[in-house]
């Protein structure tokens, strides 16, 4: 395929509904969804044209979920990072987290930092997990940072102050909903948007390849005529 997107972003929706449809607890869907994260990440890492994969893992609004589910997600995330370190290193993947990490426990913050440090030398795919992330919060934090530093707020300085400065080429949402849910609103200004009814635990490499095939047929004009 030609015209492969350099930066793919995915809203991984549908874990809870996938589990409930099977008569299981929602946490089972999150566990299955974490397995899909590995599969999709390894696929992207094998394609040199794909430079960055940003995954919406936990939003600033997700704290509103039931306490037990949030606690499980925090433990799952810490376990996931520990277990996936070998995957990152074996596939030359650099891990990074975006979002306001200050609300997480000290142990989870330490695990995130250790994973970033141990993969910092990797120069293949960047897997970016959006954690306690919201695009509005990201922009507010970026503007406040510029004000503190005495910088004039321009498009260029604001872009550089964001958690992620790379424009999104392809944004995918699983689970059937057609909204961005406060995800990478600045970076996705000219992204191609794809929505699929497939719930995240059922999302597959084959489904991603179908979307990539369709992406290659799109003429991206970025507001111009050609």
- Catalytic residue positions? 13, 62
Query: How many CB atoms within 10 Å of residue 8?
Result: 26
Q: Can you read off the two tokens belonging to residue 48?
A: 């040199």
Calpha distance 49→65 (Å, rounded): 37
CB 218 within 8 A of CB 193: no
CA angle 119/43/45 to nearest 5° reads 30
Calpha distance 17→24 (Å, rounded): 10
Calpha distance 193→179 (Å, rounded): 10
HSE-CB at 178 with a 13 A cutoff on CA atoms is: 1
User: Radius of gyration (Cα) for the chain, nearest Å?
Assistant: 17
Query: How many CB atoms within 10 Å of residue 63?
Result: 11
DSSP state of 132: E
Per-residue burial over 111-126, b if 16 or more Cβ lie within 10 Å, else e, is: bbeebeeebeebebbb
Longest dimension (CA), the chain: 55
């Amino acid at each position: 395929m030609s015209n492969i997107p350099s930066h793919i972003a995915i809203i991984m929706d549908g874990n809870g509904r996938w589990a409930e449809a099977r008569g299981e607890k929602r946490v089972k869907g999150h566990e299955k969804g974490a397995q899909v994260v590995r599969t999709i990440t390894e696929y992207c890492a094998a394609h040199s044209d794909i430079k960055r994969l940003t995954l919406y893992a936990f939003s600033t609004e997700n704290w509103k979920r039931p306490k037990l589910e949030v606690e499980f997600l925090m433990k799952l995330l810490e376990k996931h990072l520990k277990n996936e370190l070998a995957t990152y290193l074996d596939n030359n993947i650099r891990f990074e987290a975006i979002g306001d990490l200050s609300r997480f426990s000290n142990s989870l913050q330490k695990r995130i930092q250790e994973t970033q440090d141990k993969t910092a030398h990797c120069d293949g795919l960047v897997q970016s997990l959006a954690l306690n992330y919201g695009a509005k919060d990201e922009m507010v934090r970026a503007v406040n940072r510029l004000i503190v530093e005495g910088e004039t707020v321009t498009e260029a300085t604001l872009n550089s102050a964001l958690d992620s400065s790379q424009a999104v080429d392809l944004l995918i949402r699983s689970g059937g909903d057609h909204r961005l849910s406060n995800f990478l609103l600045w970076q996705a200004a000219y992204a191609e948007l794809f929505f699929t009814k497939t719930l995240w635990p059922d999302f597959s490499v084959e489904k991603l390849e179908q979307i990539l095939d369709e992406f290659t047929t799109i003429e991206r004009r970025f507001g111009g005529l050609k």
